[in-house]
Amino acid sequence: MSQTTFWATCLPNFEEYLEAEIKRYWPQLSSGEAKTRIKKGGVEFDLPQEDGFLFNHFLKIPSRIYIRLAKFKAKNESQLKKELSEINWSPYLFAKPSVQMSSNRSRLYHKQKIGELAERVIKKHSRGGVQKQNILLRLNNDIAEVSLDTSGQLLHKRGYKTHIGRAPIRETTAATLLFSLINDKFPELKKTTLIDPMAGSGTFLFEAFRLFEAIESRNFDYQKFNTAIKSVPTSPSNPVFQKYIASDNNPVSLNALQKNLLAKELGGIDLEVHQSDVLADSKPYFDKCCTWIISNPPHGKRLGKNLSNNAFLKKALKNIEKTYSPQRIGLLLDGETLVSKDIVPTLWVPEERIDFSSGGRKNSFCIFERFSKET
């Protein structure tokens, strides 16, 4: 069976996690050895076309998944127009083309001019309609790569979250950070309680509920193509973690969380939701299984004028340690926040720090493992 190249995009520094996720699903969605290549901002992978489309339903990390339609030399506009015209657009193009063009060390470098030229050529092959289809035209050393979006809406739009809280993170980012927290500890999850003590509208927990479940609550652009399409394989609907706990001191955020819960089927999930201030003393939480923390603490203006980031973190983390005694901790922090030893509880041993930027904001995801004499 012929192979087609797909390009899954993600935030820079997330590429290794995306490649691991692709390889995790490969045996379920395709056959043979996984053929992947990490590039800045994403991962390329080769497999039969109808298999590649299915990754839209299962991958939780990428922003979009593109299909490669052509690769050719393009030293001038005439050559580019000729090659674009010879692409077989009919199976894929159902709406107006919207071309995103990039150029590196190429004679064709004017992004707006070349992008508009490409749109005029491709538009002749379109079936019309008011919707737009995303097309990537990337020129590197006079070699052009043309790729078409198979996803449609950005993939962080899962189709189930109806209410958004303050300072939300995208679901794709939350899923990546969850995978980084889990690392190689998949066998432990069924005996673990996952807790977000500053849950907001619940993005981390919503991703954790069905981390390995296919997304069928939304549509994808590939479903409008005139090509062979496979049915989506069934996926397990079992809870990933043994139990989930969400708390927040903001009633508006908790209201958004509750409304999102009503919009999603959560059969079989053991979940506690309650209003609680992470800065207030709480009774210790006792559970036979181990506890993990994942959270996006408020910072900056959200804390008010009388509380600095470090002062808030120091007290919040002290209370989290006192209440839950977590074995594993993942904190999404502002990139400017310095997590010094006097802020973090003594038993929390730094394991990994992932720096990334999203929406112009620098972020750091800091992972800690609880010190144990056995280790």
290 forms beta bridges with 192
DSSP β-ladder status, 348-358 and 361-370: antiparallel
Q: What is the pLDDT of residue 265?
A: 64
- Residue closest to 161 by CA, chosen among 169, 272, 96, 99: 169
Q: What is the pLDDT of residue 128?
A: 73
**Domains, the chain:** 4-149 (3.30.2130.30), 171-370 (3.40.50.150)
Q: What letters, b where the CB count within 10 A reaches 16 and e where it falls short, cover 160-191?
A: bbebebebbbbbbbbbbbbbbbbeeeeebbee
Q: What is the pLDDT of residue 310?
A: 85
Burial class of residue 8 in the structure, from the number of CB atoms within 10 Å of its CB (0-12 exposed, 13-18 middle, 19+ buried): buried
- pTM given for the model: 0.92
Helices first, then strands: H and E counts in the chain: 8, 14
CB 175 within 8 A of CB 211: yes
- Residue closest to 253 by CA, chosen among 325, 165, 159: 165
Phi then psi for 20, rounded to 5 degrees? -65, -40
CB 230 within 8 A of CB 51: yes
Phi then psi for 142, rounded to 5 degrees? 70, 15
Q: What is the SS3 assignment for 285?
A: coil
Q: What is the pLDDT of residue 281?
A: 81
CB 174 within 8 A of CB 203: yes
Residue at 342: amino acid letter = D
Q: What is the pLDDT of residue 123?
A: 93
Low-confidence ranges of the chain (pLDDT < 70): 1, 161-167, 263-267, 288, 304, 338, 373-375
- Residue 72 makes CB contacts below 8 A (sequence gap 6+) with 83, 143, 144
- Count CB-CB contacts under 10 A for residue 303: 15
- Residue 8 makes CB contacts below 8 A (sequence gap 6+) with 18, 22, 42, 43, 44, 45, 55, 59, 61, 62, 64, 65, 66
